Structure 1
């Protein structure tokens, strides 16, 4: 069972929670951005999240390579382990973004998410969605994928089901009675989950997916539009250090929650600040766009895709004028051009 009795709420923790919650409230207004803006922010953040989270575990795919892979997911055959991990991560992220409200926090659903996460990983088929049968440990990797050694000794296979049951029961109760702030509960769930390391592989990636899931469940609806995983990747040494400092005390009578909770809240602060900058930039760009360009964007967003002919029909504008607007929108990365010649179409 998670021992929260020793948790000290410092002034910095209070200040961080207040700043994050203020943005959570402000997002109700900021989130009224045009659909094409939100779609663009979400796409970029999703690519960053998948790329960063898999690289933290040793993948070598760049964000550009991740983007190319995601645009061809229908091929359903991924030759390398890096590609398989990206495809699985994308599947789970899309599911959570669409259905988080209907998915309860339970062992069964965590196991299902793990199974989906490793759906394309050929060497992991034997342990998808099932708790570990052999001891495992946490390893850290540098930017080249080289192991930095063992970070933490995890729960034994025998202990794992008991500790997972206790963790989910504690979290469900804590979120319900609201004695602790949901951000603190989420931080404690994640650090304990990683201390247990319940699955043979994929625990790090799944912990970051669970973070997104729990934040969405707690009402932090801006999370899909800014990558927390990217923040963590850029402070990877601090991430592992904070985990190690808190996890090393979890079996003590008075665990030291401060290192991990401070890292977690500072990462959330950085995530929301990045989103603030992006939203401001999007609004400035929109203000600078001609009316016809805005009309084109709104039309393509509503249709999903459109050809030059479609846009001409709807706007009644000159074809050459439409072409120039489309070229500008593509060059500023507000639209994507697909196909060639007469078969060309545009998407957000």
Structure 2
């Protein structure tokens, strides 16, 4: 096959082997680890979904907070969104839901990638002409200063003329690699994503789509815990490292000796952080079920559902005595389940 990038230069270091082993250990243990009450598991997934949608769209410049994302998703059936940010959030939510519900049926093909791109941009008015189609114009990655001034091109993506050929090669290569399984699937997924972003095949939405595709490929590879922990939030919180790793690998990606190591180690490190956070949340859920009084469990569930909770809210929703509620909130805060915000009458509590 006339592939335009070389993968045999990937160095399998001890660090890479250790990261893969740790991630796969969690993958294998998930069947037992994830045995918590269904409503708790459902709550984890709901929170992770909100975090993923918020983070992935903010990475690309949207400004909606997780609370605003959650409010928007409650009314998503309206399908009338006033701002570009709302359109992007709604599209990301729809594409994620498609992947979560149908991952096993969505093989890695160009047609499926284009369909997911259409889903992602379905509410974006300005993207109507090019959604689901490869880019007609150049879309090099540019840097902008704090005042919005253009600092120039930091990475040249594939030319529109070359994009169909390169995408055809990339998808054919990745599908075959994943089917054969000779290379570890996490390494194949990592390479696929960094080359996809180097090509930047669509006029807009490439970053968001790359994270949707990451979730799809991980689910198809058996990492079924992915919907319960937000990988996107990990990337948002390490954005500088994310872009640095991309630039370091993409700079030589079409050469005879590309250096895959910066991106692969970042990618695997992000997956490790994702599973570490999820493991802590699961352990916390078990502690809740085993040690906390029923009223404390109700308070935590309300904090998850509403995003924030005041003493007055808790009194109204539970019917418990105000001083009793205060005692439970204090204990939950001391044990690290809740975080206290504000002071005086403005005090409220959120999930830690």
Q: TM-score range by the shorter chain?
A: 0.7 to 0.9
Determine the C-alpha separation between the residues in 2 that align with 1:109 and 1:218: 17
Determine the C-alpha separation between the residues in 1 that align with 2:151 and 2:213: 25
Q: Which residue of 1 aligns with 2:81?
A: 78
Determine the C-alpha separation between the residues in 1 that align with 2:23 and 2:234: 15
Instruction: Tell me: CA distance 1:58–1:243, structure 2 relative to 1, closer, same or farther (3 Å).
Output: same
Q: Which residue of 1 aligns with 2:156?
A: 153
1:239-250 superposed matches below 5 A: 239-250=242-253
Determine the C-alpha separation between the residues in 2 that align with 1:152 and 1:143: 19
Q: Which residue of 2 aligns with 1:221?
A: 224
Determine the C-alpha separation between the residues in 2 that align with 1:150 and 1:10: 32
Determine the C-alpha separation between the residues in 2 that align with 1:147 and 1:12: 38
Instruction: Tell me: CA distance 1:101–1:80, structure 2 relative to 1, closer, same or farther (3 Å).
Output: same
Instruction: Tell me: CA distance 1:321–1:227, structure 2 relative to 1, closer, same or farther (3 Å).
Output: closer
Identify unmatched segments of 5+ residues in structure 2: 301-315, 339-352
**Conserved 8 A contact 2:34-2:282:** no
Q: Which residue of 2 aligns with 1:36?
A: 39
Determine the C-alpha separation between the residues in 1 that align with 2:259 and 2:107: 29
Q: Which residue of 2 aligns with 1:87?
A: 90
Q: Which residue of 1 aligns with 2:278?
A: 275
Superposed displacement of residue 146, structure 1: 8.5
Q: TM-score, normalised by structure 2?
A: 0.82
Q: 2:104 aligns with which of 89, 94, 101?
A: 101
Instruction: Tell me: CA distance 1:281–1:11, structure 2 relative to 1, closer, same or farther (3 Å).
Output: same
**Conserved 8 A contact 2:134-2:164:** yes
Determine the C-alpha separation between the residues in 1 that align with 2:263 and 2:222: 22
Superposed displacement of residue 288, structure 1: 3.1
Aligned-partner SS, 2:128: helix
Superposed displacement of residue 179, structure 1: 1.5
Q: Which residue of 2 aligns with 1:310?
A: none
Q: Which residue of 1 aligns with 2:204?
A: 201
Q: Which string of whole-angstrom CA distances, capped at 9 and with x for unpartnered residues, describes residues 4-45 of structure 1?
A: 111110000000000100011111111222111111111111
**Conserved 8 A contact 2:51-2:233:** yes
Superposed displacement of residue 137, structure 1: 1.4
Instruction: Tell me: CA distance 1:60–1:181, structure 2 relative to 1, closer, same or farther (3 Å).
Output: same
**Conserved 8 A contact 2:142-2:151:** yes
Identify unmatched segments of 5+ residues in structure 1: 298-319, 335-348
Aligned-partner SS, 1:127: coil
Determine the C-alpha separation between the residues in 2 that align with 1:144 and 1:63: 26
Determine the C-alpha separation between the residues in 2 that align with 1:190 and 1:205: 11
Match status 1:13 vs 2:16: yes
Determine the C-alpha separation between the residues in 1 that align with 2:141 and 2:263: 16
Q: Which residue of 1 aligns with 2:175?
A: 172
Superposed displacement of residue 147, structure 1: 7.1
Aligned-partner SS, 1:209: helix
**Conserved 8 A contact 1:227-1:271:** yes
Determine the C-alpha separation between the residues in 1 that align with 2:279 and 2:225: 10
Match status 1:288 vs 2:294: no
**Conserved 8 A contact 1:57-1:141:** no
Superposed displacement of residue 139, structure 1: 3.9
Determine the C-alpha separation between the residues in 2 that align with 1:48 and 1:150: 30
**For the aligned residues, what is the CA RMSD?**
2.9
Determine the C-alpha separation between the residues in 2 that align with 1:254 and 1:24: 32
Aligned-partner SS, 1:126: coil
Superposed displacement of residue 75, structure 1: 1.3
Relative to structure 2, which stretch is displaced further, 216-225 or 25-34? Answer: 25-34
**Conserved 8 A contact 2:288-2:297:** no
Q: Which string of whole-angstrom CA distances, capped at 9 and with x for unpartnered residues, describes residues 288-320 of structure 1?
A: 35579989x9xxxxxxxxxxxxxxxxxxxxxx9
